[in-house]
Amino acid sequence: MSDRQKEYLRIIELYKQRTALLKAIGELNAAISEQGRDEILKRCCDILIKNVNYCLIWAGKREDNENEITPIAVADSVAIADRDCRKLIREVVLDMQDSNPAAQALQSGSPVIIQDIFQEDENSPLLHIARETGFRSCLAWPLIYKDREYGVLSIHSEQAHCFKNSELDFLSNVIADVSLALYSRETTQQLQIERNFNQELVDTVQSLLVSVSPCGEILSMNREAEKITGYSQQEVVGKYWVDVLLSPEERQDNQRRVSVALKNKSHDVNFQASLLTRAGERRIIDWHGSFRTNIEKGQVGWVLFGIDKTEQINTDRTLNQAVAKWEQIFIAIQDPALIVSADSKILDANSATLTAARKTREEVVGRQLCRILHGGRKAQKRCPLEEFVRSGKARIIETELPGLHGQYMLTISPFLPEQGDIRLLVARDLSDEELSRAEQMRAAQLASIGELAAGIAHEINNPINGIINFAQLLLDDLGDDDSTTSAEILRRIISEGVRIGSIAHKLLDFARGQEVEFEAVELNQIVDNCLALIGHQLKKDGIVVEIDISRQLPEVFCSKQQMEQVLLNIFSNARYALNKKYKKADPKKKITVSATRILHNGNPYLALTVIDYGTGIEHDLMERLFDPFFSTKPKGEGTGLGLSISHGLVQDNNGFLRVRSEFGEYTTLTVGLPTQHIAGGANEGYMES
């Protein structure tokens, strides 16, 4: 056989090896494996070692930050199997030194060929390897593709000048095939990792994600979409999207909406639609469709992003129903009811509140609670009611509410924290029976205080009389010399002692019930007698008294003297309040007196009402008006017994005394007294108090 024929056969054998190598690479690529690179290189070494001219083939890789090459695959021929070639490779060839062909190939990025090692320098480590193993030539070819380094392939032969041009051409193609395979495997793995990561992201999204083809067929759906619809991805792929994602009655309208969006070249479309699940459950989905155009093919596909709004819509519907029900209840409450914030701003008020306050909604909502219920307060003073509201605690109190024109039992109820920092106030108008019960309790309290006051008065009377007498004796001893300072001091002691004695006598009067005889008296007569005594002072102060008492009213049964005492005290307090508000004459500086028939506990009464338009009484003081020694006047201007004694006198006369006031506006005192007993239908013309 000629040399030409031999060379031809050799080339055929090389191409057989390359074909076998490509087939092996294809098989390895088809079988996804984490060790794909190492398997490809091992298979490459196993195939190439079949070349009769090669005795040792190995592949290695350069480790990061390491000055050595790590072997990946090694293949040797049977001829040198008994030689320790691998040991020599580890000792010399794997070092990243300039004398190492593999290191030179990796550092230069080009193949390194040594055709005859025995012609190398005597100090070269390769010469030592050649003598130990019989190697004569070697080749180191870097595995590089698109600037990515995957290792180095080293081939050793016992023949000198083994690597001829045809051999190098073959190896060049083989190295290119292996490098491409390694690059493809790495790229495939990266794409798979990214695909898995993206799929994980899609599956972890708590919303429906559905991709749709240009012709409207479902391409994929995430786990949430599978969970909501009840269908698996395999079951819906290839189906028309409206048949799966829309309930039958809504398909046509929403399909038209999408078509219009496409026709108008919109990039997206939003719509809400109901979805019928596999189990027949209806879910409400908010869809956002994002269109993706394939310009080259002129096709449009899109991605549907859906949020399940079913629970939210059901919750909102339940909440709206609850709110509507609450509003109906709130409006239907017959007693005044208000919703206020923690800082006592009125947020809402029912119709009963507006009626009782005699104001419009605009005049009430948004205003401070104290302003509406009490008519305001002095500057720098706190409102007890607003303090109760601010505390956030539930309370039930009986109080006068001038803004609502009555006496009320007020319930303060804080809402639950999750419902907001707000309060519900309900004011129940106290009935005549409840007012009577409160007055009875007040009478019992005053009786207890009266017993205590009587004891104190008796204890005060004796020593104060002694002080007055001894002071008078000392003053008498001074004789004509009564203009001295000592005489003045003694006179003051006597004066103050007399004043203390007067208070003690009032306490006794307050404490002990006096034997009185009731008589039939006209209210006009009582009023006229009082004005005869105090009218001059009222006129001097510029106070106008307006009287509207019909002469046709029946007489009342009472102690005329005691009722005159009560009425004088009421006129005196009214005069003080008017003079405090108006320093000079004024059209509003007046007192009005009127009387009406009422029924009190089912009995006929006359209610005598005295109104002054003076300073009024602060709402936080209303509960203390009948307490002994409590006075709204400055120190030294009142004893605080006037209203307490008046209250007791009215109670002794089987009547009642009530006070209403709006600070800065007016004060109303109502005295109720029983009339003569009239049999039969005599109660006609009376109204319930």
CA-wise closest residue to 648 among 402, 448, 433: 448
Least confident interval from 86-95, 221-230, 407-416, 428-437: 86-95
Q: Does 3.30.565.10 match the CATH number of domain 519-688?
A: yes
pLDDT > 70? residue 356:
yes
| In this structure, CATH architecture of domain 333-430 | 2-Layer Sandwich (3.30)
Give the per-residue pLDDT at 485: 76
CA-wise closest residue to 306 among 199, 201, 211: 211
Strands (E), 334-385: 337-341, 346-349
| More confident position, 376 or 452 | 376
Give the per-residue pLDDT at 213: 85
Percent of the chain residues past pLDDT 70, beyond the cut: 73
What fold characterizes domain 206-312? Beta-Lactamase (3.30.450)
pLDDT > 70? residue 48:
yes
| More confident position, 124 or 195 | 124
Write down the CATH superfamily of domain 3-191.
Answer: GAF domain (3.30.450.40)
pLDDT band for 22, please (50, 70, 90 cuts). Answer: low
Query: How far is Cα 177 from Cα 259, in angstroms, rounded to an integer?
Result: 50
Q: What is the pTM of this model?
A: 0.38
Interval 263-319: pLDDT, tens = 777 778 888 889 999 998 999 988 888 877 654 454 457 888 888 888 888 888 887
Residues 6+ apart with CB under 8 A from 684: none
Give the per-residue pLDDT at 678: 37
pLDDT > 90? residue 609:
yes
Give the per-residue pLDDT at 149: 87
Please compute, for residue 665, the number of CA atoms within 13 A of its CA located in the half-sphere on the CB side. Answer: 14
Interval 117-157: pLDDT, tens = 888 777 777 777 777 777 888 899 999 988 888 889 988 88
pLDDT > 90? residue 610:
yes
Interval 387-437: pLDDT, tens = 888 888 888 887 878 888 888 888 888 876 555 578 888 998 876 555 555
3-class DSSP string for 307-342: EECHHHHHHHHHHHHHHHHHHHHHHHCCCCEEEEEC
pLDDT > 60? residue 102:
yes
Give the per-residue pLDDT at 26: 64
Element containing residue 439 per DSSP (H, E): helix 432-478
pLDDT > 50? residue 636:
no
Percent of the chain residues past pLDDT 90, beyond the cut: 9
Please compute, for residue 205, the number of CA atoms within 13 A of its CA located in the half-sphere on the CB side. Answer: 17
Mean pLDDT confidence for 583-610: 89
Helix runs in 164-222, H state only: 165-204
